[in-house]
Structure 1
């Protein structure tokens, strides 16, 4: 039976045509990836697949067999929040929180590949994640703060 690793733990893939989002939320009880549009356009369902941001609502669960999936729940260590999570808290970058999962996961992906992004690069990375509350300025500050925190911890 095919498996995948979610937040470091192996899980069997069920048969059928479920999406990765369905598997994560309904089968594994991980509630951070949200169902937003179901079309891969809003970003609320973003997870990391082998370290790359992916929209879980359009990824077939069978398509990630053997891969490593990280959700928001899997970012933190036993001792502390991930620096991106910490930065979002420090800058108060959330209002309703629905977009937060996608924003954090996209920021993690960006900072893994570009530890010192410009504001334009941050804006480009997050441009396809929808936030209706209007915390865009705080989200930009959070990603900039996360870059500082990551550099300090290196």
Structure 2
């Protein structure tokens, strides 16, 4: 693979741009460590950094992974969140955080942070919004209200009422 543009890569490092994680890594010559662009560690001097397209390229050049940002796990985090979204979308009930985290191989508190970071809402909020959207779709199909509510995964019409009052459906 070709190396990333050093100016753009450095700008991503300075901004700690999470969107660039997985696209390239930066390696610090003085420490022998490579990091992802969003690494929270202190920035090295620009002249001590070189950029690689992949972590494998950095390892081949003799660098080792940062223990703080764990650049080799970037894809793993995204895959876990994507798998959790799939699980949430396939179930009708709001899954428990501990069960969801166990299904994707993370501790509940850590998974909550990952999911919220990537999706912008907690797993429970995502599931509630999805269920409310399903109810709206069923109501648009001209189904009776109670049937639409049950089809969306609510246990009782009373469970749907607070969602409607808050306007979050």
Instruction: Give the TM interval when normalised to the shorter protein.
Output: under 0.3
Which structure carries more strand by proportion?
Answer: 1
Q: Larger C-alpha radius of gyration, 1 or 2?
A: 2
Which structure carries more helix by proportion?
Answer: 2
Task: Indicate the structure whose relative CO is greater, using CA pairs within 8 Å and at least 6 residues apart.
Answer: 1
